[in-house]
Amino acid sequence: MAVQAAEIPQNTTSAVDLGPAVALSCRECGERFPLGPVFACESCFGPLEVAYELPSGDVEELRRTIEAGPKNIWRYAPLLPVPADVASHPNTNPGLTQLVKADRLAKELGVTGGLYVKDDSGNPTHSFKDRVVAIAVEAARAFGFTTLSCSSTGNLAGAVGAAAARAGFRSCVFIPHDLEQGKVVMAAVYGGDLVGIEGTYDDVNRFCSELIGDPLGEGWGFVNVNLRPYYGEGSKTLAYEICEQLGWEIPDQIVIPVASGSQLTKIDKGLKELIRLGLVADKPYKIFGAQAEGCSPVSTAYKAGHDVVRPQKPKTIAKSLAIGNPADGPYVLDIARRTGGAVEDVDDEQVVDAIKLLARTEGIFAETAGGVTVGVTRKLIENGQLDPALTTVVLNTGDGLKTLDAVAPTTGPTATIRPDLDAFRAAGLAG
Amino acid sequence: MAVQAAEIPQNTTSAVDLGPAVALSCRECGERFPLGPVFACESCFGPLEVAYELPSGDVEELRRTIEAGPKNIWRYAPLLPVPADVASHPNTNPGLTQLVKADRLAKELGVTGGLYVKDDSGNPTHSFKDRVVAIAVEAARAFGFTTLSCSSTGNLAGAVGAAAARAGFRSCVFIPHDLEQGKVVMAAVYGGDLVGIEGTYDDVNRFCSELIGDPLGEGWGFVNVNLRPYYGEGSKTLAYEICEQLGWEIPDQIVIPVASGSQLTKIDKGLKELIRLGLVADKPYKIFGAQAEGCSPVSTAYKAGHDVVRPQKPKTIAKSLAIGNPADGPYVLDIARRTGGAVEDVDDEQVVDAIKLLARTEGIFAETAGGVTVGVTRKLIENGQLDPALTTVVLNTGDGLKTLDAVAPTTGPTATIRPDLDAFRAAGLAG
């Protein structure tokens, strides 16, 4: 059962300090609600998002403040739903990950206008989820929650477990009971409660929705449910960092993975904010969505010219993108079409090839989602949809160490030899 | 066969530009040699290290230059054996990892003077090895090498593979043939040649030494053999970053893992340089070495009051520290004794406990080496050798994702339940 705006508990409607965030606003009908742990509009059931009163002073001063700020996402605190003193709170402090000038990859792909990889494997638990969870932690604090929770099959569980530990929250994370042992260890090692649910990921999600509506879940902040409006804003920091790292310029083209689609919509939101504030010059940019063929509801709709996204049953190695019924799918279609981008997909073999291409050209070992964005970039260039003469940023949102199985069957030693020079000479590897 | 200073090839004795590095100097007899790919003194066979002409101008200007520099180790280029324009070269750009104020861990350990964890899992391939390899890459470039190589059982292979890919070198890495598949994948994914050697790690090392002395190895830079003097300097950046992140102050106590011992000696060297330059105030500091009981040649010598380190046959889960005959062991003893520190060890069970302690208090999932430093910190406090009222920095040099096996047997779900509220209530996890 979804908690709607009408049900905001009294103790959370008092003036919470979340910095420039002043209200929640319905993305469909525009109705406004006080800041609180709610996520659906009471009038039209549309998704709520954070509305701001952004800084209106001297833009150069704002730029200097940002540049002199912490070397993590809190440098953008004036643009995020967090209190001004957020950097002094215990949190995982993700962000300011490397924007890698990928000249060798560019050469292989034929990109001449400048190619960059935004490598979010440098975050504390090695995925972009640390960004969104860090914001959710601050909202949970403001609303007086004591337990952090989520449903997850991987990256999110680790990000929530780590952030809860650092910030002093209890955590209780729900996973399908039959996950691989490695993922279970990553989710459990931070010492919170980890509950295996006998059922599929969809069963886990349904159970979490029930729990939110029940007294058993009182005091619980589910980062991707009742804290979702705040959580989602963490993805804006990818837009801020990319532009700052390019010398306060918007790139011409950005390739973004699409799971629920939230990340792509928030990056677009972030770019528009930077333009409105005057931190970057207004210019056209194209946003491209990337999916795996085995879970491609948005690219299928894009290519068919539909506005409606028809759910799919996922079957792909890109498990972190395997959301068959993406909540923000229609918004992704809007943005790709409005900006002149596209949504494309690649099959699992192309994902593996792209992981290896990125590793051997740039020394970045991406998880499968990174294989999807690099593979889609190559396909978009071949299709003529992405212009290789323009500046292009490709996102890698996670770490190859978490999806070793994707490349393991085709990745091994060149040779195995006895420890002597004759054997080495015979192997033909000298020179 | 070791390459000694007399054998420097002619084409490398010409003035190479490695910034403030002006010569190699023997740590035993002090004799100086031109910069080149050599590592042992021609007179006394002692280890060579880099000698500098460090900046002598206005210290405040140097500090401002560093603070305005790249957000990675290249901000310290004026203090490293790299050309001044190093930041514009393709490289992995490691460093400026988080110094985490570990208040919750401090509480558990009873530290009142301020406890920090320097978390090097934030580096590109998630271990401190990225720092040393990044410097070796610049030396390899300066000496005209075209292949980067090393012997490795894990972290180093990944760091070399990634850096070679980024920087456009060929790589050829040697590993024991019977490594776990996960480690083989991590070493092979960057697309360089990976050679399994039928034998132990010692056999791999002996083979590499033979290869360096043979024409087959011409043009090869072995980062931890013929490039070792440069490579080792990368560890100085840990000292620089810790002090800068503490507001240009030296901490009272530092706990450092000891494998070969190189890292500990270079951190001490880095601190002394900062004092000499005036970037930090001169003050006493204590350096502590941390080993695993199953490979504790240095702590055994320390406790016995010996100056000589007797080799051991390693048997510990802390494989990245499992060097039974540590080259820099005697220097570690000197430094621990001179600074008033100590060298201590913990057993494998204590290592696992410490990994979990760090994870549940600070949300940092360390590899076994991090369990060693945290476990040793706890033991040193209990022993009364480390003063909990003083500012203390503990190093975590690697990532728990690479040593999942250490915690897997004892890390799992709290409960497994059906997806309904009654089952959840019965599990007793609400509230």
Q: Which one of B231, B256, B273 terminates a domain? A: B231
* Cβ within 8 Å, pair A363-B211: no
Q: Which residues does chain A have within 8 Å of residue B412's beta carbon, measured at their own beta carbons? A: 184-185, 188, 194
Would you tell me which residues 321-350 of chain A have a C-beta closer than 8 angstroms to some C-beta of chain B? Answer: none
Position A416 in a domain? no
Residues B153 and B260 in one domain: no
Taking the Cβ of residue A206 and every Cβ of chain B, the question of whether any pair is shorter than 8 Å is answered with: yes
Question: Which of A401, A424, A425 comes nearest B401 by C-beta?
Answer: A401
Q: Which domain holds residue B380?
A: 99-126+235-410
Residues A105 and A151 in one domain: no
CATH code for position A179 = 3.40.50.1100
Position B177 in a domain? yes
Question: Residue B301 contacts by C-beta under 8 Å, 6 or more apart in sequence?
Answer: B307, B308, B309, B310, B329, B333, B343
Residues B344 and B331 in one domain: yes
Would you tell me which residues 47-76 of chain B have a C-beta closer than 8 angstroms to some C-beta of chain A? Answer: 71
Average pLDDT along chain B: 94
What tens digit of pLDDT does each residue of A244-269 get? 999 999 999 999 999 999 999 999 99
* Cβ within 8 Å, pair A194-B414: yes
What pLDDT score does A8 carry? 43
Residues A287 and A153 in one domain: no
Q: Count how many pairs of residues, chain A against chain B, have C-beta atoms within 8 Å.
A: 244
Position A146 in a domain? yes
Taking the Cβ of residue B6 and every Cβ of chain A, the question of whether any pair is shorter than 8 Å is answered with: no
Taking the Cβ of residue B210 and every Cβ of chain A, the question of whether any pair is shorter than 8 Å is answered with: yes
Would you tell me which residues 167-196 of chain B have a C-beta closer than 8 angstroms to some C-beta of chain A? Answer: 167-168, 172, 175, 177, 181-182, 184-186, 188-196
Taking the Cβ of residue A217 and every Cβ of chain B, the question of whether any pair is shorter than 8 Å is answered with: yes
* Cβ within 8 Å, pair A198-B417: yes
Mean pLDDT calculated for residue range B51-77: 95
**Closest residue of chain A to B430, computed from CA coordinates:** A216
Question: Which of A189, A198, A430 comes nearest B411 by C-beta?
Answer: A189
Q: Report the gap between the CA of A241 and the closest CA in chain B (Å).
A: 13
Taking the Cβ of residue A96 and every Cβ of chain B, the question of whether any pair is shorter than 8 Å is answered with: yes
Residues A111 and A157 in one domain: no
Position A321 in a domain? yes
What tens digit of pLDDT does each residue of B293-307 get? 999 999 999 999 999
Residues A223 and A313 in one domain: no
Question: Which of A191, A197, A198 comes nearest B359 by C-beta?
Answer: A191
Q: Which one of B231, B247, B279 terminates a domain? A: B231
Q: Which residues does chain B have within 8 Å of residue A207's beta carbon, measured at their own beta carbons? A: 419-421, 424
Which amino acid type is present at position A204?
Answer: V
Residue closest to A151 by CA, chosen among A401, A306, A396, A323: A323
Residues B239 and B226 in one domain: no
**Closest residue of chain A to B166, computed from CA coordinates:** A362
Mean pLDDT calculated for residue range A350-357: 98
Q: Give yes or no for residue A181 having a pLDDT over 90.
A: no
Query: What is the band of B1 on the pLDDT scale with cuts at 50, 70, 90?
Result: very low
When scoring B97, B174, B185, B351 by the number of chain A Cβ atoms within 10 A, the one with the most, hence best to mutate, is B185
Position B405 in a domain? yes
Residues A190 and A316 in one domain: no
When scoring B64, B399, B401, B405 by the number of chain A Cβ atoms within 10 A, the one with the most, hence best to mutate, is B401
Of residues A206 and B279, which shows the higher confidence score?
B279
Taking the Cβ of residue A413 and every Cβ of chain B, the question of whether any pair is shorter than 8 Å is answered with: yes
Query: What is the band of A114 on the pLDDT scale with cuts at 50, 70, 90?
Result: very high
Residue closest to A258 by CA, chosen among A151, A159, A334, A363: A334
Query: What is the band of B200 on the pLDDT scale with cuts at 50, 70, 90?
Result: confident
* Cβ within 8 Å, pair B419-A197: yes
Residues B174 and B152 in one domain: yes
What tens digit of pLDDT does each residue of A140-157 get? 999 999 999 999 978 899
Give dist(CA A206, CA B227) in Å, integer. Answer: 57
Of A372-381, B29-38, B101-110, B182-191, least confident by mean pLDDT is: B182-191
What pLDDT score does A299 carry? 98
Residues B221 and B261 in one domain: no
Would you tell me which residues 228-287 of chain B have a C-beta closer than 8 angstroms to some C-beta of chain A? Answer: none
Question: Which of A185, A211, A419 comes nearest B424 by C-beta?
Answer: A211
- Residue tagged 């060298």 (tokens): B343
Give dist(CA B369, CA B373) in Å, integer. Answer: 7
Number of domains in chain A: 2
Q: Give yes or no for residue B3 having a pLDDT over 50.
A: no
Q: Report the gap between the CA of A33 and the closest CA in chain B (Å).
A: 28
Q: Which residues does chain A have within 8 Å of residue B428's beta carbon, measured at their own beta carbons? A: none
Position A154 in a domain? yes
Position A431 in a domain? no
What pLDDT score does B14 carry? 52
Mean pLDDT calculated for residue range B36-53: 95
Residues B338 and B325 in one domain: yes
Average pLDDT along chain A: 94
What pLDDT score does B9 carry? 43
* Cβ within 8 Å, pair B408-A196: no
Position B70 in a domain? no
What pLDDT score does A14 carry? 52
Q: Which residues does chain A have within 8 Å of residue B409's beta carbon, measured at their own beta carbons? A: none
Question: Which of B90, B93, B414 comes nearest A98 by C-beta?
Answer: B93
Q: Report the gap between the CA of A234 and the closest CA in chain B (Å).
A: 19
Question: Which of A172, A189, A413 comes nearest B429 by C-beta?
Answer: A172
Residues A44 and A106 in one domain: no
Give the whole-number percent of chain A exceeding pLDDT 70. 97
Q: Which one of A231, A254, A287 terminates a domain? A: A231
What tens digit of pLDDT does each residue of B105-126 get? 999 999 999 999 999 999 999 9
Does residue A144 contact residue A12 with C-beta atoms inside 8 Å?
A: yes
What pLDDT score does B11 carry? 41
Taking the Cβ of residue A14 and every Cβ of chain B, the question of whether any pair is shorter than 8 Å is answered with: no
Give the whole-number percent of chain A exceeding pLDDT 90. 90
Query: CA-CA distances (angstroms) from residue A170 to A133, A296, A329, B67, B414?
Result: 14, 36, 33, 37, 13
Beta partners for residue A185, in sequence order: none
What pLDDT score does B182 carry? 81
